[in-house]
Amino acid sequence: MKREEPGCHADGDVTCEKLILDYLLAFEEGGMPEEERAAFRQHIEKCPPCVEFLATYEATGRTLKRLKPRDIPTDLAKAVISFVRSRCKEEE
């Protein structure tokens, strides 16, 4: 079992980071099968690093929803888009 993060409670060869990145969107959108959803919820309930990450994720989402496109400086928008594109290429 990999334990790359202090307090990680992910099963098998899954790290918390991989669990979050692979499953969070499906969990949030409701597209995850119920069995996986229950396992994800169980992991989240007993894993302090994931609880902390989710709190940050949710706060970021709330903040971003408040922003209007005209409030975002052009340079910042370009930097974010560039960053996301480069991360997507790294994961391919």
Average pLDDT, 10 consecutive residues per value, the chain (92 residues):
49 67 77 86 83 82 78 84 78 58
Residue 53 lies in a domain: yes
Residue 3 lies in a domain: no
Long-range contacts, stretch 8-11, CB < 8 angstroms, 24+ apart: 8/47, 8/49, 9/43, 9/46, 9/47, 9/50, 10/43, 10/47, 11/43
What's the whole-model pTM score?
0.50
Residue 73 lies in a domain: no
Residue 43 lies in a domain: yes
pLDDT given at position 1 = 30
Residue 38 lies in a domain: yes
Residue 87 lies in a domain: no
Residue 41 lies in a domain: yes
Residue 75 lies in a domain: no
